[in-house]
Amino acid sequence: MILSKIIPGVAHSFLYFGFLLLFFSTELFSMHHLRPISERINMHQIRRVAMATMTASRFDYPKQEAEAPKILRYGDPKLYEPSLPFDLPKEMPLVHEVLEQMKLATKGMGNVGLAAPQIGILKQLVMFAVPAEHPRYKTDGVAQPMRIMINPHYKHLSDEKNLEWEGCLSVPGMMGQVKRYTHIECTYIDLEGVKQSFNASNFHARVVQHELDHLRGILFPLLVENRHMLGFTEAIMESEEFKKSRGF
Ligand code: NI
């Protein structure tokens, strides 16, 4: 246990030592005018990369089990296709089969949302739970238990929208700022075949809109209006823009 803590520490010290050597050697070269100044290595950039490497493990995404159905990634054409509704009650057994696959795909991942097309099944089924707190997202401070929705729809209850960060299991390691309706009403069919509806606001509403977007082939990066507000999680979480939005 102690060794596992010491070894990465020692490795990082060597990494820094290497960078120091590199820094001084380039300084000496430039002093002797052997290289133009523009070719000198930007130490600030190197330090940032080194820090990102060291802190990357803090942003690790949950891993899928080896035998789990594969979660498709951003770029896979199947993610951009619309999903078909289930023909109920005839297709209720199919709902359960698809749900089983979705649960397998996210096994051990904790509080997550997943839509059937994310595992390549173009049917209108989503599952999600909303955490009360999250290191990356601006939550409502209230958890919502797992909800499984067949053939869901939503409508906005007012024109109010908010701009916040979100991520997706199909876009691992990245975040983007997306404008979403603040207040919505969602209707769906539950596993008993009964029509349900609920109102959601803020983060809860954001999660619902994100998941339902998957059913019409839309992934969050396609909705990021300011393209500077889409990037790698570790870089964004270090940015002033992100810290400001969290009141740091
Ligand atoms: Ni998603």
CB distance 179 to 166 below 8 Å: no
* CATH 3.90.45.10 intervals, the chain: 77-245
- Which DSSP symbol is given to 234? H
Name the residue among 88, 203, 60 with its Cα closest to residue 149: 88
168: CA distance to ligand 1 center in Å?
A: 4
Q: Is the peptide bond before 89 cis (omega within 30 degrees of 0)?
A: yes
Q: Topology of domain 77-245, per CATH?
A: Peptide Deformylase (3.90.45)
Enumerate helices (H) and strands (E) in the chain, giving the number of each: 6, 8
Please provide residue 83's backbone torsions phi and psi, each rounded to the nearest 5 degrees: -95, 155
244: CA distance to ligand 1 center in Å?
A: 25
pLDDT at res. 147? 97
Other CB atoms within 10 A of residue 176 CB:
23
CB distance 214 to 81 below 8 Å: no
pLDDT at res. 26? 44
pLDDT at res. 201? 97
pLDDT at res. 31? 47
Residue 52 parent element (H or E): helix 43-55
pLDDT per residue as tens, the chain (248 positions): 555 565 556 555 655 555 554 544 444 444 444 544 444 555 565 555 555 544 444 444 567 777 889 999 999 999 999 999 999 999 999 999 999 999 999 998 876 799 999 999 999 999 999 988 888 888 888 989 999 999 999 999 999 999 999 999 999 999 999 999 999 999 999 999 999 999 999 999 999 999 999 999 999 999 999 999 999 999 999 998 888 887 76
220: CA distance to ligand 1 center in Å?
A: 7
Q: How far is CA 201 from CA 144, 160, 180, 190, 221, in A?
A: 12, 11, 10, 21, 22
pLDDT at res. 1? 52
- Overall residue count recorded for the chain in this entry: 248
Q: Which parts of the chain are beta strand (E)?
A: 113-115, 125-130, 144-156, 161-166, 174-181, 183-189, 195-201, 230-232
Q: Which residues form the catalytic set?
A: 211
93: CA distance to ligand 1 center in Å?
A: 25
116: CA distance to ligand 1 center in Å?
A: 10
Name the residue among 158, 171, 86 with its Cα closest to residue 122: 86
CB-proximal residues (5 Å) to ion ligand 1: 168
Residues whose CB falls within 8 Å of the CB of residue 82, separated by 6 or more in sequence, listed in order: 122, 215, 216, 217
207: CA distance to ligand 1 center in Å?
A: 9
Coil, helix or strand at residue 179: strand
CB distance 109 to 120 below 8 Å: no
99: CA distance to ligand 1 center in Å?
A: 16
